Structure 1
Amino acid sequence: MKNDVLIVEDHPFVAEATKKLLAGAHPLLNITICSDAASAVQELGNPDRTWHRVLLDLDVPGAHGLSLVMEAHRLGYEGITCIVTAMDRREYETQIQALGFLGYIVKATSVDDFTNAINLIFKGERVFPTPIERRREVNEAIRLTRRQLEVLNLVRTGLSSKQIAEALNLSEGTVNNHITGTLTALEVGTRSHAVARAIELGLLSVSA
């Protein structure tokens, strides 16, 4: 039975905590810890080891960007490798998922969620943040005031700044300031894009 597990992690506390978690749930595992890219590459390429799972941090000494990910992929380990990292980067997650890796777990997740994700990984299930989770994360990060949402809701009806000002009993300059703040918060360049982005994030309802 294959029971070799490789943990690539340079923080001793995190590495030992992960090892303890795995040993408690799977006492027959033979766990190896590597704290840098060079030793990880050596272990991954070791012909005498048949890895069952690889838990791979992206940001260990000697690693750059997705260098260790690409090495694991080159060796054909993507199907048993889960990325466990502090890097909550959507572009990395998307590329790693497209390459066929087993999962992408962000360390900042709760202990319960982390434990559940690890258990799923060892059952052979793929674990990546769902679109709903991603939307919730982005939604929580983007804050619009009640007045900004009120103005944006009128923007999507086609009203001009002057018309919105009259409807809300505000000055036209104040309305434009709210719109500028909204564009900045949503990281968009036009009013129509702001409306679309707000609907996508669930900040505005689909129907006006």
Structure 2
Amino acid sequence: MLVDDQRLVREGIRGLLRLADDVVVLGEAADGHEALELIGRTRPDVVLLDLQMPGLDGIGVLGALAETEDPPPVLVLTTFDDDELVLRALGGGARGYLLKDVSLDQLVAAVRTVAGGGTVAQPAVTDRLLRAWQRRGEEPPALAAPPDLTTREVDVLRLVAAGYANREIATALHLAEGTVKNHVSSLLLKLDARDRTRAVLTALTLGLLE
């Protein structure tokens, strides 16, 4: 499902997604209220969500979805003129973010990743997000000692940072998907992070992904 108040943007994204055989656009919404109604009716696998909309904005949509049972994963589409807004979206449960000038391959890959349970964080903007996070005065978790990550956990962390889903990580590292899930759970615990995106931001702050 596409949620954006600019009709031209929706038409452009829909046109791109039509070129992918395994992606179907179930509906489009021009504001948050319309989006919530359509999401409840069509149950999409992924929601591509703009943040800045009149009426109920993207943050409001995320807040409303968080109160529903089994909400669909949300991928934020942004022009990136407001770092703080994107951070609020990630804190509100978004699975990742894309710039609106992404290529078709990047867009389709991101949709597939989020549909498969993964997260998406474009490397080109992750550092900017990190700086915005630091400007807010937030610090890395006060760990008693630097996290002792195994070599395999670092391998998994790098692929998580690149936006890979668990199944893709398993294929890349020749591991069982259940093993990857265990590694991700261990990373979240060691990095004191509530989700994969926060784990990546914390790892960047601590210099674990240099």
TM-score, normalised relative to structure 1:
0.50
- C-alpha deviations, 1:134-177, integer Å up to 9, x for none? 25997xxxxxxxxxxxxxxxxxxxxxxxxxxxxxxxxxxxxxxx
Equivalent residue for 2:88, pick from 95, 114, 119: 95
What SS is found at the alignment partner of 2:84? Answer: helix
**Aligned residue among 60, 74, 81 for 2:67:** 74
Matches within 5 A, 1:24-173: 24-26=19-21, 29-46=24-41, 49-64=42-57, 66-76=59-69, 80-107=73-100, 110-112=101-103, 115-124=105-114, 125-130=118-123, 133-135=126-128
Determine the C-alpha separation between the residues in 2 that align with 1:133 and 1:123.
17
Residue type at the aligned position of 1:89? D
- The CA deviation at 1:65 is 6.5
What SS does structure 1 have at the residue aligned with 2:46? Answer: strand
Is 1:21 the counterpart of 2:16? The answer is yes
**RMSD over aligned Cα, in angstroms?**
3.2
> Where does 1:176-191 land on structure 2 (aligned, <5 Å)?
none
Task: Give the match's secondary structure for 1:105.
Answer: strand
CA distance in 1, matches of 2:83, 2:12: 26
Unaligned runs of 5+ in 2: 132-204, 206-210
Counterpart AA for 1:41:
L
Question: Residue type matched to 2:24 in 1?
Answer: L
Structure ranking higher on relative contact order (CA contacts 8 Å, 6+ apart): 2
Amino acid at match of 2:113: K
Query: How many Å apart are 1:95 and its aligned residue?
Result: 3.4
Deviation of 1:130 after TM superposition, in Å, equals 3.9
Q: Provide, for residues 82-139 of structure 1, a one-character-per-residue CA deviation record: whole Å limited to 9, x for no partner.
A: 11122443333333334442211232xx443x6414422323331124488525997x
State the structure with more CA Rg. 1
Q: Structure 1 unaligned runs (5+)?
A: 1-5, 139-199, 201-208
Q: Distance in 1 between matches of 2:120 and 2:80?
A: 16
**SS in structure 1 of the partner of residue 121 of structure 2:** coil
Q: CA deviation at 1:35?
A: 1.0
Q: Which amino acid aligns with 1:24?
A: L
Letter in 2 for 1:21: L
Identity of aligned residues (%): 22
Report deviation, 1:25: 0.8
